[in-house]
Structures are given as C-alpha cells and as structure tokens.
A = this chain, B = another copy of it.
Amino acid sequence: MTDGTPKTVGIKQIAAAAGISIGTVDRALHNRPGVNPKTRSRVLKIAEKLGYRPNLAARSLKLNRRLRIVAHLPRQIASFFDPLREGVREAAAAIRGVTVDVTFRTYPHLGDGDLKLLEEDLERDYDGILMTPGNPSQVESAIRRFTERGTAVVCVASDAPRSSRLASVSVDAAISGSIAAELLGTVLHSEGTVATITGDLNTFDHGEKLRGFAATLATMAPHLTLISTIETHDSPKEAYRATLALLKRNPSPAGIYVSTANSIPVLRALEENGMCGRVQLITTDLFAELIPSIESGAILATLYQRPFTQGKLAFETLCRFLVDGVQLEPVTRLAPHIILRSNLPLFLERLPAGLEMG
C-alpha cells in the first residue's frame, strides 16, 4: 500500500533499517552461525516488513554458478525423442539469471548403450542429468551413485520409481491404455474382439499401457474381448508380419490398439487386406506419415505423448531444483492428448519431419 517509493529493497536496505551491517544481515537471513538470536529475529522481521526479495541474479553472479546438465536420450524413436530434445532446448534458452550448459548425448535405442554413457558421465561432474530409463531396474544403482555425489537425476518419458531420482516426468501409461479401451468401448456398440500391438513389453511402459487397456476394457467395455497381444520390438517388418498373422487368425477384429509408434506397417497390412474402414484403430505418437490416415478417418484416435512438453517440463523441474532449491512435484504424470480428425491441425506445428524407426 505504501506506493511512494517503489525502490528495490535489498540486503542493504534491511541493514540500514536495522542499524547494523550488511554482513550481519546476510548471516541472519541465511542461518549462518555467529549472529545473536535476538538480532536474527529482528532482521527477519524487518526483512518481512520491507518485503525483502533476494536478488537471485546477484547471488548467482557472486557464487558464479554454472550449471552443467547432460541429457541422455536414445536416437531410436525419433518421432518422439526429437521433439523432446527440442523441448529441452527451448526451456534451456528461456533460462535467465544463471548460465547453463546443456550437453546432449545419444545412444542407439532404449536399453542399449545407456549404461555405458552413465558410467562415463559419472566421472565428469555434472550438476544434473536428464535420462530415460530403458530398463528401470538396471539403472537404479547408477542413479544412486549420481545422487550420492550430488548430481540430480530427472527421469523423462519413462520412470525408475524405486530409484533415488529427484523427479520424473512422463505421460501416464496406464491411463493411455484406459483411454484407448474407453474410446473403443464407446464407439463399438455391439460385441466383438479387439487386439493390441505393442513395442516391447519390458520397455517404455508398454506393459503399463496394456494393463490399463485390459482393465478398462473389462469394466467399461465388457462387450469387447481382448484376443491377442503382439510384440513388435520396434521392427517394421515384424509389425507388418504380425498384423497379417493376426488377420489370418481373426479375419475381422472390431478394434486394434497400437501402443507403439511403430504403426505404419500395421496400417499397410490392414490396408492391403481391405480392413482400413472396417476396424477401429487407435495409435500412438504423431509423425508426418500418419497424417493422411488420420485425415481420412482410417484412425479413430491417436494418443499423443507430448514429447515437447515432457522435455520442457523435465528441464524446468531440474533447473528449478538446481537453482532455487525448490522441489516441484516429484512425479508428474501428463495427460496424453487425444488426437482426432477435428483437432489434428493444432498438432501439426512442431511435427517431426519423419519417423525413423530402427
């Protein structure tokens, strides 16, 4: 309410108001030893009254903090991890008041080569690390060694819940599966069979997705029967072959949930058998090759895992902790976006050029 002097109130103003020196105010504010308890409380009270807000720029200048952050991300599913990287970059570019150096390191695909990178970066003294645990149980000990030496670890896209990571950002995999089941159950009115096509049940939460799918199918769509679960191991040929095999065993499924980004071969196999309009399809992740199938109505819905947002959020969480020491939500579960024909245009901006799949 005192709007007369909108001056900056710093440590110096507090010192003047209390009639003591700057050094003492600093000690009092930071619980450093060597200050009379009475003086300390008096300083805190005055700081409160004056509305003291520390100048973070000055602080990090004096401390000369230079955050070194490294991101370990696979090259494999480019349609997902490229936008994620972009999200990290954009968040890093928006940082002010402290210098951050972000290093990007890559390895072939999830669960292959990430451990070697972790070993290597244990030597270098990074302040924070961003990573996607391919096989959570395998990286737990590595994460512990990082956190013990003071390096904060944030998991993105996938989680290692039993590890000592600072935080985790990802979409909720189980709910992704549930959404797929609910959509199929709502659109399909009569009895029928559904199948799922997944990547690798051990990695990237595919297991969670299928659990959620099966559970919701049972409760919200009892008229649909889950007949088959296919693993493609992120191989296009395998996905194509497996889809053909599925159609052989079951010529007319009512719906298919593709929980991996590897959906193009599935579409091709369906198309060649004239099934494209006759089966309700739910796919995962967005990339250029998928657009025609969404626009034509061949795909009922696409569950978009928002890689850009994930990268941005993970980086912000890490920085917020390293710089200000505040710990945001330790576990953030984003809602996947449900892409339909009508809202597709809104997602075509930061679209990755193409899907590069091993």
Contact = CB atoms under 8 A, between A and B. Distances in A.
Interface stretch (A13-21, A42-50, A52-60, A77-85): A52-60
A97 B60 contact: yes
Interface stretch (A30-38, A155-163, A225-233, A334-342): A334-342
A320 interface: yes
Interface residues of A, number: 50
Nearest to A213: B342
Given A61-B55, A175-B342, A182-B341, A316 B94 contact: yes
A239 interface: no
A340 B340 CA distance: 14
Interface of A: 6, 8, 53, 55-58, 60-61, 64-66, 94-99, 101, 172, 175, 178-179, 181-183, 186-187, 189, 212, 216, 220, 300, 316, 320, 323-324, 333-338, 340-343, 345-347
Given A57-B60, A335-B347, 15 more contacts: A8-B66, A56-B98, A57-B65, A57-B98, A94-B316, A95-B96, A96-B324, A97-B97, A97-B98, A172-B343, A175-B342, A179-B343, A182-B342, A216-B342, A220-B341
Contacts of A55: 61, 64, 99
Contacts of A342: 175, 178-179, 181-182, 212, 216, 220
A194 B66 CA distance: 59
B64 A61 contact: no
A356 B247 CA distance: 53
7 interchain residue pairs of minimum CB distance: A97-B97, A96-B97, A178-B342, A57-B61, A335-B346, A57-B60, A182-B342
